[in-house]
Amino acid sequence: MNFNPLNGADSGFGKGWNLQLSQFNPSNGKLALYTGEVFKVNIEDENTVIPEKKIDSFHFHVLDNNRYRVEHKSGLVEILKVGQGQLAMPVQLISPQGHSVKLNYEAFGTDPLLSSINNADGSQLLTLVRTANEMKLTLHPGTACESVFVLSIIGGETQTIVLPTHDSASWRFVYRFLSGLTCLEHVYTPTAGHETVSYSGKPHYFPGLTNRSLPRVAKHTRDPGFGQPAIETRYSYGSNESGNTNDHNFLGYGSDIAWNDDGLDNLYKVKSSYEYETQEHLWDVSSDRAVRSTRRVFNRFHLILREEVRHKALLESDDTLLVTETEYYIDPLADFKDQPNYCQ
């Protein structure tokens, strides 16, 4: 399962939660792959054009009016079919060795919800049943290996995931509502660990918009429990190389563009030179100082230009600094779609 705060609707697994399945929306051409990649597909007659795909990692084919085929470089083949909500979801997965499974769906509101996965011989590998406040996932149902996972969903939010153990060990989640999004704030693990995400008072801004923003993380604390020291990582954003602070970010804020939800990467539309950066600090809580700081600078194609890693293990020792600069085969005046395929 995957959590994404941008997925604000409860599509069966609770707000933000979903299985990482590929899907294609024919109405807007948005293709989201199980790998996490998202592309805009332009269908022209029987041909498909994907302007932002530079690495030839998959091929997308139109089989008919409601079926599509995705061929991955790994050899995996996905057959997608339009169903509930006019979304094309994978109904068959074929491995490089020729083995296949079939995926079945039912309606959950206006969304398709996976209900079962069957082997090629018809045997069930997984069943999913959603009720008002619960999602039950059963692996290998009806066999000696049957395992049941239960998601408790209250008010559309997944509160716990109970594992198939003798003591009903569970994951527990606490959320925080920021900028119109449901964000994770606390995660409690089955092994007594605890993770906390603290958010900055200043969000990421969208270019050309005044009524929309994205929360950004200021601190991530991982407490393993059992008396072990917590691991704290702090984050900062937006300072450029000259030392003058700016609000540049991966959305393109501060550039000459206005945000458009057209399925394309908005930062690719920036014509001028544009850079944004992040700073990551591994923090020693006992001495209240950074023991390692990493500064990363990216260009308008989200390619890392410069990485600076600074270590300071002991107070009395000097810092060590490792700088890595990377150059790419990029035409600085050309759009991303016109860049060579090896620009990344």
Residue with tokens 């009720």: 131
Q: Residue 142: inside a domain, yes or no?
A: no
Say if 268 falls within a structural domain: yes
Residue 298 lies in a domain: yes
Please state, for a pLDDT cut of 70, what percent of the chain lies above it.
Answer: 97
| Three-state secondary structure string covering 233-280 | EEEEECECCCCCECCCCCCCCCCCCCCCCCCCCHHHHCCCCCCEEEEE
Q: Is the pLDDT of residue 242 over 60?
A: no
| Cα angle for residues 41, 42, 48 (degrees, 5° grid) | 85
User: Does residue 234 sit within a domain?
Assistant: yes
> How much is the pLDDT for 245?
63
pLDDT reading at 318 higher than 80: no
| Number of domains into which the chain is organized | 1
DSSP element (H, E) containing 283: strand 276-284
The pTM assigned to this predicted structure is 0.89
Distance CA 128, CA 105 (A): 10
**Number of Cβ within a 10 Å radius of residue 130:** 20
Counting Cα atoms < 13 Å in the Cβ hemisphere of 19 gives: 18
| pLDDT band per the 50, 70, 90 thresholds, residue 223 | very high
> Confidence class of residue 239 from pLDDT cuts 50, 70 and 90?
low
Predicted local confidence at residue 240, as pLDDT: 53
pLDDT value, residue 258: 95
Predicted confidence (pLDDT) at residue 332 exceeds the cutoff of 90: no
Considering the domain boundaries, does residue 289 fall inside one? Answer: yes
List pLDDT tens digits, range 46-95: 789 998 999 999 999 999 989 999 999 999 999 999 998 899 999 999 99
Residue 249 domain boundaries: 191-344
Interval 97-132: pLDDT, tens? 999 999 999 999 899 999 999 999 999 999 999 999
Tell me how many degrees the CA angle 10-16-22 measures, rounded to the nearest 5.
90
| Selection from 188, 179, 176, 249 nearest residue 221 by Cα | 188
4-25 tens-digit pLDDT:
999 888 999 999 999 999 999 9
In a domain, 44, yes or no: no
Residues in the chain: 344
- Determine the distance from the C-alpha atom of residue 333 to the mean position of all C-alpha atoms in its chain, rounded to a whole number: 30
pLDDT of 271: 87
Residue 218 within a domain:
yes
pLDDT bracket for residue 326 (50, 70, 90): very high
Question: Quick one: pLDDT at residue 263?
Answer: 85
Q: What is the pLDDT of residue 280?
A: 97
| Whole-angstrom distance, CA of residue 205 vs CA of residue 287 | 33
Helix (H) or strand (E) holding 138: strand 134-139
Q: Decide if 289 contacts 266 (C-beta within 8 A).
A: no
CB 240 within 8 A of CB 247: no
pLDDT band at 288 (very low <50, low <70, confident <90, very high): confident
- pLDDT at position 243 is 53
Q: How many CA atoms lie within 13 A of 151 on its CB side?
A: 24
Determine the Cα angle at 270 with ends 264 and 275, to 5°: 110
Would you say residue 25 lies in a domain? no
Q: What pLDDT was estimated at residue 287?
A: 84
More confident residue, 103 or 287: 103
**8 Å CB contact between 283 and 70:** no
